[in-house]
A and B are shown apart, each in its own frame.
Chain A
Amino acid sequence: MWEADSALDLSDFLRAGYDRFSGQYPKFHKMDALSKLGWLAAEVLLKDTAIASLAPEQTGMVLSNRSSSLDTDLRYYATVKDFASPALFVYTLPNIVMGEISIRHGFKGENTFFVSPAFDTALMCSYPAQLLAETPLQACICGWVEVMEQQYEVALFLVENTQRNNSILLTEAALTALYQQNNSL
């Protein structure tokens, strides 16, 4: 689909991704790296889906990562001794990435962010499935979005109640296979 120059640092990589997949969304430049990474992945994930046809309350999110918002927390802390940055402060929570994705796509469904040492396929299979079964949600974006300094990783999946032509049944094994496929790229 797209391969960036491996020599790019994270900031330049995210800008290149924005130029490639989006543009015309100036708020992107104000986001922290975690939000930019998750937001860009959502742009790619949702590009050719029918999710826009759902009511705002029918799409939710369950995301996770290892470092929470620590990368931005440290950047914010570094500004405190001089002039504390309001623009950085608003990103000192990991769930803000879900807010940015929700604003972009108009989602108003339930969302939850978990912090765990590694991508928990059992949780990421069972929890979205439970939400789809027991709440008004008809679609749920789930996955992993991690940033710490120059190390980053993102893997988002779209889970829906409605079966599509190219969809696969949500099982722990299927999600594990998809995640490992992502890691092998």
Chain B
Amino acid sequence: MQLNPSEISELIKDRIKNFEGAAEARTEGTVVSLMDGIARIHGLADAMSGEMIEFPGNTYGMALNLERDSVGVVILGAYGHISEGDTAKTTGRILEVPVGEQMLGRVVNSLGEAIDGKGAIETDQFMPIERIAPGVIDRKSVDQPMQTGLKAIDAMVPVGRGQRELIIGDRQTGKSAVAIDAIINQKGTGIKCVYVAIGQKASTIANVVRKLEEHGALEHTVIVAASASDSAALQYIAPYSGCTMGEYFRDKGEDALIVYDDLTKQAWAYRQVSLLLRRPPGREAYPGDVFYLHSRLLERASRISEVCVEKYTGVKGKTGSLTALPIIETQGGDVSAFVPTNVISITDGQIFLESDLFNAGIRPAINAGLSVSRVGGAAQTKIIKKLGGGVRLALAQYRELAAFSQFASDLDEATRKQLERGQRVTELMKQKQYAPLDVAEMGVSLYAANEGYLDDVDVNKIVAFEGALLAHVKSNFGDLLDSINATGDYNDEIAGSIAKAIEDFKANGVY
């Protein structure tokens, strides 16, 4: 970056002007022990729980254990320069991060400091990372859709604005891919996104940033990165920091989406911190409050009423929402482990991804039987609700039937038909990564399946057929798609137009 000399002087002048040199009164303590990023401090009689503690060298820590003679502090960041006998001061502030529109398009660490080399972030607003979730009175029911752009999800397990939908599956089943597609699909919808990467490889995070940038989705996204090499404390607080940044948008009457990728690693980081703080271990060596760790985080994802928005920020007549897509990685498909069961019970449904399906080429590898959305149905657009209503059940039944029919030599006509329809719908639910569809395109695809337009298409040609169909409809029936996208309505007239468009393609199109 080229630096302008006068600019630097200006900057320094500004900082000197705003510098407060008054005497400060603070409580001091002494570091009595320091190991694995945990400092025990004697003194600090009036330290608060969660308070920022200042160490020499502009390093900060968070007070977690307040004991009789000492305070247990996790140091946020490097601690090589701190030694026994150093003084630590209270700051009187609970740990907070910068928030604001300026965060969009940036990659920050758990403390909200820019790590993308694009310079400091100029915000003047800070909010504490631990905030209480909105209460019962402040809430509003979830009734607007949050389109992920994936047919399989929007038709079978719809997500509404303000919902918490868990994405769960083994490693390498496309969990992050689903979340990234959802972020890309929010381009132009006004939904601001926060992607929290916890304990991932730095190269993976860099890839995600590049992909979002390529698809023009970085402008509406904040990326909070606590990579595998960051301290456990930073990995532990990353989701709370990200949530605070998302809540800023929710509180001013906008819609936001937050992805926690993934909470398993956060629980591991918290387990490490807890054990080092000598808190008693419980099941799988997690501390006793590992449920609260995730429940208090996910409770903050919510839809809030106009009254509540006005109370928080003074913005009138707008509701706000923060939709959460937490990700949990299971080991060998075991959803009954401790953390997966916890998070399943906290969230409003889950998208269950399976490696068998993934390896069979069904991507996204969603298990239709085990995936549910407990509140999203109320938020679905009319057309998708009407056309995609039976898909989940039909697919689940088809899987059962397919397994069963392997033993039967000859099948009756009805069963054979159901199997064939099932195969085609399974094919239709396949979707490439980074290619989200809008509501109208999904509607056309689903209509074709429902009305039997796919029955005379070879199973292995379904994907090609769908691609060609959508391209044809897009170029020849653009008005129809636009009108469906605008209202999301479905009636006989629209159904007739879609049928006409598909018939036109079948008569003239090639695939």
Does A associate with B in a complex?
no
